[in-house]
Amino acid sequence: MHLFKTAMIWGACMTMACALLVTTQHPTKAAPGVERPAADGSHRVVIQVTQNDPAIMNLALNNAENLVSYYKDRGEKIEIELVAYGAGLSMVRSDTSPVKDRLAAISSKMKNVTFTGCGNTLASQSKQENKTISLVPEARLVPAGIARIVELEEKGWTYVRP
């Protein structure tokens, strides 16, 4: 019986040692679903805007400005893209944006912050409203807002939704 207990303890120790060895074999490899920062050490953030709510839009813009300020103070680079789609497209529409002046101000002073609007939503809203809709000059059109977010996340960007 004593030999059996010794074998059990020895087996448990070996199992723990193997587990420790396996988990420390690749310390530089990110865990599944966890992306590393950009190779140059910069930060990349995509902020989703999907609500036609000036408070949410301003919160998203506050997030962007605060991040730029924070990392600038630390001497680190950051790149931010705000992606508007669905009801949030209103943020970058030239005819409905309640934050139009703020977009222009941010765009003129923060070249590392970009604005994109969803082409699918733009086409749908244009058809529904029976008029041609355009984006503010600071925004560029992407084919699909949600696909843009997916593509950026696949490249290691951090996703934020205010």
DSSP assignment letter at 87: G
Q: Averaged over 99-114, what is the pLDDT?
A: 98
Q: Which two tokens stand for residue 21?
A: 């060895």
- pLDDT (0 to 100) of residue 39: 63
pLDDT in tens, 43-86: 999 999 999 999 999 999 999 999 999 999 999 999 999 999 99
Given CATH 3.30.70.270, say whether it is the number of domain 43-160: no
Q: Averaged over 140-159, what is the pLDDT?
A: 97
Q: Which two tokens stand for residue 36?
A: 């590393």
- pLDDT (0 to 100) of residue 41: 77
Cα–Cα distance measured from residue 105 to residue 96, given in angstroms and rounded to the nearest whole number: 17
Instruction: State pTM to two decimals.
Output: 0.76
Q: Averaged over 117-146, what is the pLDDT?
A: 98
pLDDT in tens, 36-55: 456 677 999 999 999 999 99
Across 115-125, b (16+ Cβ under 10 Å) vs e yields bbbbbbbbeeb
